[in-house]
Chain A
Amino acid sequence: MSTNYAVEAQGLVKRYGPTTALAGIDLEVPTGTVIAVLGPNGAGKTTAVRILTTLTDADEGQATVAGFDVRSQGNEVRRRIGLAAQDVTVDPLLTGRENLVMLGELHQMRRSDAAARAAQLLGEFSLNEAADRRTSGYSGGMRRRLDLAATLVARPEVLFLDEPTTGLDPRGRSELWTVIDTLVGRGTTVVLTTQYLEEAERLADDIVVIDRGRIIARGDARKLKREVGGDQVQVVVVERGHLPDASRIVAEITGVEPNVDVTARSVTASTSQGVETLVLAAKAFTDAQIAVDDMSLRQPTLDEVFLTLTGSTTEDEEA
């Protein structure tokens, strides 16, 4: 336990028949930090989590979690981790309280301790009223909350959250973000997977972008955006006929060749100069007397990150 890394992995490879889910992944997660594994469906995020949580063995490579080898010291690892799988796994026939007590007992707590812990978590996650109802009657958000509470029963050192906000409404999402903030503030290490750059930026100290089982970029959000070329400036013109002129203007301002979407009448280009780009563009379009519907500066989407990093879109990856 002298390591400063909560998670260390080298060269993880996992194959399912002819498909290579992971093609050699290295990870180092310093203790007490949050790492976001960002990637589209099928990139290998869940496979990586399954290896690190001892649910499956890597074909090649090695990994330690909380200082223990995931292959040879599985039970030591399992004592120190919490896992929220992509799909909620609380038992539908048990009540919220029964779910938490059972998991506490399986975490080797005495029954009375497990009951006290369950009561505490139910209170903290605003599930007191529903505590003694079967979870099959819970709303999606309540089930998610219970699922997260369930991962915390044993006060894990390392928490694995596989796409924790998928299917949550914006309110549920921001609640979950707050919980993760608190956990990290107390020293828990969090490994989360996500498809949203925004989420990764909001939560993570470090982002790893994976695609087809390989890490294609890593760093904090600022570094990634710099690699992608910063924010995206988008101009929507009123008349389609103005698109070539608009494209030329945006190219002059940003210095990169913009994407033109004829249907949306939009011209999009990445820029590293932020708001200044908008000011310049506004002036240029006014001078050129081109009517504009909308002009905006926004973060690159995962799609655009992928387009830049891999030269193909996320949809292609899934095919």
Chain B
Amino acid sequence: MSAISISDETVAHDGPRPARGMVHDTWVIARRGLVHMKRQPEALADATIQPIMFVLLFAYVFGGAIAVPGGGNYREFLMGGIFAQTIVFTSFGVAMSLAHDRKNQAVDRFRALPIARGAVLGGHAVANLIKAILPIVLMSLCGLAIGWRIRDGLVNAALGYLLLIAFAFAMIWVGVLLGSLVSTPEGVQGIAFAVLFPITFMASTFVPTETMPSFLRTIAEWNPTTGLSNAARIQFGNPTTAITPDSPWSIAHPTAYSILWIIGIVAVCAPLAVRTYQRSIAK
């Protein structure tokens, strides 16, 4: 029933083919990452159902009890924060893909192929950037349906989205670093929940920082998630953390603060992540 018969032609050498380049190889591997997302119910839910659920939960369950300082609609306040949280969690997705690759030994299979250097990491990065954009689009639509509005013009909003995507790009390197240091998907999951959840909640993501106890408030004010949340709110013209003369610099200039974080993370994490990744696979 399962006899194998290979033809003459199968084993004829037809000589090596010329390289088609980094972009081609990266895209082939990125496409695989997207198919993975489509076929892993939990990953697909992470990217689609969960963000919408968070929007609805916070808007309707917590929304009534949370007052936006300086007035304003909580649903409008919420969207910037929930965008930021989703973007920070991009790192988790990358780390999971790397850990799965290691578990399935896909890394070795790719490394024995004549592909451009960096195509494997590049493919993961591209796939995860696309994975990050999908929930942002869905949440925006969901937000629009429940009363969130872009109130400061489309140009500023576009810049806001660009800032979010740039931050996602930075978080990809954090994910590569995490995925290279932790070898199993379970380990990645554990660390992600122990680290990413506090980081995204000890911030102005869902609640104003003004009401936090003072030491926590200081942490929250300098938390990059707060910077990104508030920057998004400003770009979309939504209510945000009130800026007073004694606000720290991170609160007064959230967009600049977020850009600094992006530069900092990329400058530090990207080279470190690439080196750690290379070392983790070259056993």
Contact = CB atoms under 8 A, between A and B. Distances in A.
Taking residues whose C-beta sits less than 8 angstroms from the other chain, chain B's interface range is 35 or more
A76 B36 CA distance: 30
Interface in B92-129: 104-106, 108-115
Interface in A46-97: 53-57, 75-76, 78-81, 83, 85, 87, 89, 91-94
B111 A54 contact: yes
A85 B105 contact: yes
A183 B4 contact: no
A56 B282 CA distance: 6
Interface stretch (B9-17, B51-59, B130-138, B180-188): B9-17
Given A79-B17, A93-B35, A155-B12, A141 B114 contact: no
Contact of A107 (B5, B13, B114): B114
A256 interface: no
A184 B281 CA distance: 32
A126 interface: yes
Interface in B11-66: 11-14, 16-20, 24-25, 28-29, 31-32, 35-36, 39-40
Contact of B112 (A16, A83, A109): A83
A94 B35 contact: yes
Contact of B115 (A81, A93, A106): A106
B28 A106 contact: yes
Contacts of B283: 16, 56
Interface stretch (A117-125, A273-281, A300-308): A117-125
B11 A152 contact: yes
Contacts of B17: 79, 107-109, 154
Which secondary structure dominates chain B's binding surface? loop
A105 B28 contact: yes
Interface residues of A, number: 51
Contacts of B195: none
Interface in B250-274: none
Interface string B64-75: 000000000000
Contacts of A286: none
B2 interface: yes
B32 A94 contact: yes
Given A56-B283, A105-B28, A175-B3, A155 B14 contact: yes
A31 B128 CA distance: 43
Contact of A92 (B11, B20, B24, B104): B104
**In the complex, which of the residues B4, B5, B7, B108 has the most CB atoms of chain A within 10 Å of its own CB atom?**
B4
A266 to B, nearest CB: 38
Contacts of B110: 106
Given A89-B104, A121-B10, A108 B4 contact: no
Contact of A103 (B6, B36, B113): B113
A26 B10 CA distance: 31
A102 B6 contact: no
A242 interface: no
Contacts of B36: 93
Nearest to B5: A124
A188 interface: yes
A157 interface: yes
B6 A182 contact: yes
Nearest to B28: A105
Interface string A126-164: 100000001000000110010000101011010000000
Given A81-B112, A89-B106, A126 B35 contact: no
A183 B4 CA distance: 12
Given A105-B28, A121-B10, A55 B112 contact: yes
A178 B13 CA distance: 20
What 9 pairs across the A-B complex have the smallest Cβ distances?
Answer: A186-B11, A79-B16, A108-B17, A79-B114, A78-B114, A89-B109, A89-B105, A83-B112, A126-B2
Given A53-B112, A94-B35, A152-B6, 13 more contacts: A54-B111, A76-B114, A79-B16, A79-B17, A102-B28, A103-B109, A106-B29, A108-B24, A124-B7, A141-B2, A155-B11, A155-B14, A176-B4
29 contacts: A16-B283, A55-B282, A57-B282, A75-B19, A78-B112, A78-B114, A79-B114, A87-B105, A89-B104, A89-B106, A91-B32, A102-B31, A106-B28, A106-B29, A106-B114, A107-B114, A108-B17, A108-B20, A108-B114, A109-B17, A124-B7, A154-B17, A155-B11, A155-B13, A175-B4, A176-B4, A182-B11, A183-B6, A186-B10
Interface of A: 16, 53-57, 75-76, 78-81, 83, 85, 87, 89, 91-94, 98, 102-103, 105-109, 120-121, 124-126, 134, 141-142, 145, 150, 152, 154-155, 157, 175-176, 178-179, 182-183, 186-188
